[in-house]
Structure 1
Amino acid sequence: MKRLRTAEPVGASSARESWEKTKASRAKLAPTLVGAILLALVSPAWAVTVTSCDRQVSVAQPPQRAVSHDVNMTAMLLALGLEERMVGYTGISGWKTLDASMREQLAGLPELAARYPSLENLLGAGTDFVFAGWNYGMRIGGEVTPASLARFGIPVYELSESCAHVLPGRVASLEDVYDDLRNLGRIFAVEPRADALVQGMQRRVAAVQARLGEQPTRPRVFVYDSGEDLPFSAGRQGMPQPLIEAAGGRNVMDGVAGSWIKVGWESVVEQDPEVILIVDYGERTAAQKRDFLLQHPALQGVTAIREKRFVVLSYLAVTPSLDNAQAIETLAAALHPEAFAQ
């Protein structure tokens, strides 16, 4: 028996076609809307802009293939727990020796260049972020600079203390280290960890200040990095300046507008330092540097030489790093032993 087809009312066919088109359109639209909503929830827009020297540095997403230069900047990234997001480091084995702890942390991570990195080193590693500084892996007019790397879409964050080389008159401070840690925390989306590291340093420095109180004198300190014909030291724009000040001393080269500088032995004698801070790194050991200074004919009348008052600190401790807190503690105890006597 044939089923009779019921006639549709006038206009019903066009109405149904319109409905079918609307339903099909909605069916196509639904996945798009759902996908957009899920994308917004799972991968929200993320971008960070921080100040680096006199530049604004923007990072579209947390770096996954970062490169650090020198032992101090590498140590900062490791302290922030970022070794899994590093593709390598540069500028350590050419001048310095890693301690056992840092060697273990860097195991399996390649050193891309023993001294200064090249564009080829960085591009070959697929680098997506560089943490370096002026005279810490980058030189004005050199091959590797923020401008040269920008052409390849690689952002660079500059070590704040090093900005003195491009911003004349800038003086180093402990805030440089705190700012670097906080900015790196933002760039890598690990702000809580960065804040905890800064707070830990601040507590240690505050504890030293509390022990020192108001000291009637500030012993004169000469920083000896290296050099025989001319000593390599630190002026008021280098990190040793705020470290010595926080430890209750005075950098005898604070009148020199420079970061790490060459000076004359005559100026050392003229300033008559009471304590000499030896930076322990390089081909010569701290003991060899000490013996050289003790035997130097021009220094025999200097108070620190006559009284054999030396303080030895690592390169890591006197350059911007988390070890700056330990440097202040050690130096303060040497300059003002009475305040730290048990």
Structure 2
Amino acid sequence: MRTRSVIVCLAALLVLSGCGAQVEEAPPESGGAAVTVQNCRAPLTVPGRPARVVTNDTGITEIMFALGLSDRMAGYASYAGKERDIESSPWRADFRRTTSLGDGFTREVIQSADPDFVFAGWNYGFKESTGVTPDWIRTLGATPYQLTEACRQPGTTERGIMPPLDALYSDLANIGDIFGVRDRADALVAAYRAEVAKADETAPPIDRRARVFLFDSADPNPFTSGRYAAPQQIISEAGGANIFADLADSWTSTSWEAAAQRDPQVILIVDYGAGPQNTVDAKIRQLATHPLMSQTEAVREKRFLALPYAALVEGPRNPAAITQVARYLRSKGF
């Protein structure tokens, strides 16, 4: 790892996306000894430094890019409409020079890429219904690495085992160890912690924080963030209060009745381009015409903030998202 990259990252405490984008791409050494890390509270041994990595989802892929590991990528898959995420990404150039495997994270797609390391997560590509599971990845002779935000709680399919930012920092450190770039990971984490602390400095007291509803989509019930998904800490570190922080899950469904009863003062909208029903304008219209949500303070006062999907799932855009949410809340008097 080149010393200059660390200096650039540590200096760019207030421009986190820029820091990630400026990591120099000096190829890491080949081979390497076996490395064991803790992944989803279990030891995971990687036999050598992976050379053909397959990822699923834009946030996960950006973790690799932020660490300067695009040269190790065999390809990435994502969701329909990912173009909006890629266009807003600080790592657009990395996406363009990395093979896109399309919108389906299937067994056939993964096998065709011939990976030795697969980075995904439960509901971020790993699903029993498709047969794409960590155990199946092992049958290919590849190592499965699970996104920590999506680790399953013991004995359940509910996800989340630690605070969301801790999950991000854990994954950066683990991937740094596996690929021999731990100094890059440590530099990023130090910069991210500094940006988060700066946003938190302006946060109001707990009893004066805005009630914030994270709205992803509705089909027909609203999909939102519990306490273990990234928006929980994006909202709380920005000085707001997630109205569904009591749900001990990651991304999860709730009811319109519950959302309206908690009377959000601000609504944070996930912006992704998967069909006309998922545009920001379409979601705002849905909220404004809903008989219950239309009566909430956020809808009456038109307090909507939209951020890209990749900023709101676990990934290196999270700290900058905290800064954006904090600025919005302060601009509205919260």
- Superposition TM-score, scaled by structure 1 size: 0.80
* Residue 250 of structure 2 corresponds to residue 256 of structure 1: no
Deviation, 1:232, is: 1.2
Unaligned stretches of 5+ in structure 2?
A: 1-28
Deviation, 1:62, is: 1.0
Q: Deviations over 1:178-200 (max 9, x none)?
A: 11001000111111111111111
* Residue 193 of structure 2 corresponds to residue 202 of structure 1: yes
Q: Deviations over 1:183-236 (max 9, x none)?
A: 000111111111111111111001112232645412111111011531111112
Query: Which residue of the partner structure matches residue 96 of structure 1?
Result: 82
Distance 2:45 2:210 in 1: 44
Contact 2:164–2:314 (Cα < 8 Å) also in 1: no
1:316 pairs with 306, 310, 314, which one? 310
Query: Which residue of the partner structure matches residue 16 of structure 2?
Result: none
Greater relative contact order, per chain length (Cα 8 Å cut-off, separation 6+): 2
Count residues with an aligned counterpart.
297
Contact 1:164–1:237 (Cα < 8 Å) also in 2: no
The worse-fitting range, judged by mean Cα deviation, of 263-272 and 103-112 is 103-112
Secondary structure at the aligned position of 1:110 is classed as: coil
| One-letter amino acid matched to 1:110 | T
Percent of aligned positions that are identical? 38
Supply the RMSD in Å over aligned alpha carbons: 2.3
Matches within 5 A, 1:138-177: 138-140=126-128, 142-164=130-152, 168=156, 170-177=161-168
Instruction: Determine which structure has more spread, i.e. the larger CA radius of gyration.
Output: 1
Contact 1:134–1:165 (Cα < 8 Å) also in 2: no
Summarize the Cα distance change of 1:145–1:302 in structure 2 as closer, same or farther, 3 Å threshold: same
The worse-fitting range, judged by mean Cα deviation, of 44-53 and 83-92 is 44-53
Distance 1:233 1:339 in 2: 24
- Superposition TM-score, scaled by structure 2 size: 0.82
Summarize the Cα distance change of 1:209–1:163 in structure 2 as closer, same or farther, 3 Å threshold: same
Matches within 5 A, 1:43-192: 46-92=33-79, 94-97=80-83, 98-99=86-87, 102-118=91-107, 120-140=108-128, 142-164=130-152, 168=156, 170-192=161-183
Summarize the Cα distance change of 1:107–1:210 in structure 2 as closer, same or farther, 3 Å threshold: same
Q: Deviations over 1:251-302 (max 9, x none)?
A: 1112223221221111111111111111101322212211221222222221
Query: Which residue of the partner structure matches residue 337 of structure 1?
Result: 331
Contact 1:247–1:328 (Cα < 8 Å) also in 2: yes
Secondary structure at the aligned position of 1:174 is classed as: helix
Query: Which residue of the partner structure matches residue 302 of structure 1?
Result: 296
Query: Which residue of the partner structure matches residue 269 of structure 2?
Result: 278
